[in-house]
Amino acid sequence: MKRQTIKYSDDKGEIRGELRRVADHLPTLDELAGKAGSQTKVTLALDNDALAFFKREASRRKTSYQRMIRNLVRSYARAQSSR
pLDDT higher at 20 or 6: 20
**Beta-carbon contacts of residue 79 (< 8 Å; ≥ 6 apart):** 23, 25
Where does the pLDDT of residue 9 fall: very low under 50, low under 70, confident under 90, or very high at 90 and above? low
pLDDT tens column, 39-65: 888 898 999 999 999 999 999 999 999
- Answer yes or no: is 7 within a domain: no
Do the domain assignments include residue 66? yes
Q: How many domains does the chain have?
A: 1
Domain contains 2: no
Other CB atoms closer than 10 Å to residue 79's CB: what's the count?
A: 14
At residue 11, what is the residue type? D
In a domain, 43, yes or no: yes
- For residue 9, being part of any structural domain is answered with no
Which is higher by pLDDT, 45 or 10? Answer: 45
Asked if the structure places residue 15 within a domain, the reply is no
User: Is 80 a residue whose pLDDT tops 70?
Assistant: yes
* For the chain, counts of helices (H) and of strands (E): 3, 0
65: domain range?
29-81
In angstroms, rounded to a whole number, what is the distance separating the alpha carbons of residues 37 and 42?
15
